[in-house]
């Protein structure tokens, strides 16, 4: 459901378009952390192997002596390292094909340096899109060309717009804390409810 294979294919489309346009100044690198998950489930193992094959193929077709476009990390990393990656990234690409919330999107926004923040490219099918929709570049994760276009938009975004989007994102995160959710949940739970109508005999 994380859309990892489609994600690297969209990144490949970005590379292809840059090469076709002769844009030698655009050498994006995709760092994808894919920690092993549910290793006992055959479908997950097949997905991990497919992701490795796709990343290997893309690297073989697009690498140069000084450039390797996809860095696939197939192990768990300390949280501090992940947050460090977020802070250094120009773009955070979060494209699940189905996700109830997706905290990674929120962590990316929270990790950005205020003076030079990166841009979140976010799936419309992630629950976080409801809160971060005016912060992120929203994309359909099934549309590989559309995701590639979202990446281009994010990479070309001027600094002042990136800052405005980041500020809106931080404000959204502060409005929707876990405590806020808990308070709203309890309020709804304690609301008086009418008894369900009974059907006539």
**Cβ count within 10 A of residue 151:** 24
- Does residue 57 have a pLDDT over 70? yes
Kindly report the number of other CB atoms within 10 A of residue 171's CB atom.
11
Question: What is the percent of the chain with per-residue pLDDT over 70, rounded to a whole number?
Answer: 92
pLDDT of res. 22: 75
Give the total residue count for the chain.
201
Give yes or no for a contact between 105 and 78, defined as CB atoms under 8 angstroms apart. Answer: no
In this predicted structure, what is the pLDDT of residue 139?
Answer: 97
102 contacts: CB under 8 Å, gap ≥ 6 = 94, 96, 122, 123, 126, 127, 128
Domain ranges of the chain: 4-177
Q: pTM here? A: 0.84
How high is the pLDDT of residue 74?
87
- Report the distance separating Cα 165 and Cα 137, nearest Å: 10
Average per-residue pLDDT in the chain? 89
Average pLDDT over residues 51-64: 92
Contacting residues for 11 by C-beta, under 8 A, at least 6 apart: 28, 30, 58, 69, 70, 93, 148, 151
Asked which of 13-17, 86-90, 92-96, 179-183 is least confident by mean pLDDT, the reply is 179-183
Q: What is the mean pLDDT of residues 50-68?
A: 90
Residues 121-151 pLDDT 10s = 999 999 899 999 889 999 999 999 999 999 9
pLDDT digits (tens, 9 = 90+) for 90-111: 999 999 988 777 899 999 999 9
Where does the pLDDT of residue 198 fall: very low under 50, low under 70, confident under 90, or very high at 90 and above? low
CATH superfamily of 4-177: Glycogen Phosphorylase B; (3.40.50.2000)
Cβ proximity of 154 and 10 under 8 Å:
no
């Amino acid at each position: 459901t994380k859309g990892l294979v489609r994600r690297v294919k969209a990144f490949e489309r970005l590379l292809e378009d840059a090469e076709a346009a002769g844009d030698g100044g655009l050498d994006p690198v995709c760092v994808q952390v894919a920690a092993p998950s549910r290793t006992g489930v055959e479908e997950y193992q097949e997905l991990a192997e497919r992701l490795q094959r796709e990343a290997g193929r893309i690297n073989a077709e697009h690498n140069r002596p000084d450039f390797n476009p996809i860095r696939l990390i197939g192990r768990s990393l300390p949280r501090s390292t992940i947050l460090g990656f977020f802070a250094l990234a120009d773009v955070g690409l979060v494209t699940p094909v189905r996700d109830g919330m997706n905290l990674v999107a929120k962590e990316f926004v929270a990790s950005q340096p205020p003076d030079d923040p990166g841009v979140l490219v976010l799936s419309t099918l992630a629950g976080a899109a409801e809160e971060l929709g005016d912060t992120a570049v929203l994309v359909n994760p099934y549309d590989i060309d559309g995701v590639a276009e979202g990446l281009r938009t994010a990479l070309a975004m001027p600094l002042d717009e990136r800052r405005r989007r980041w500020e809106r994102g931080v404000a959204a995160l502060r409005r929707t804390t876990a405590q806020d959710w808990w308070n709203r949940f309890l309020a709804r739970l304690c609301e008086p409810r009418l008894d369900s109508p009974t059907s006539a005999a």
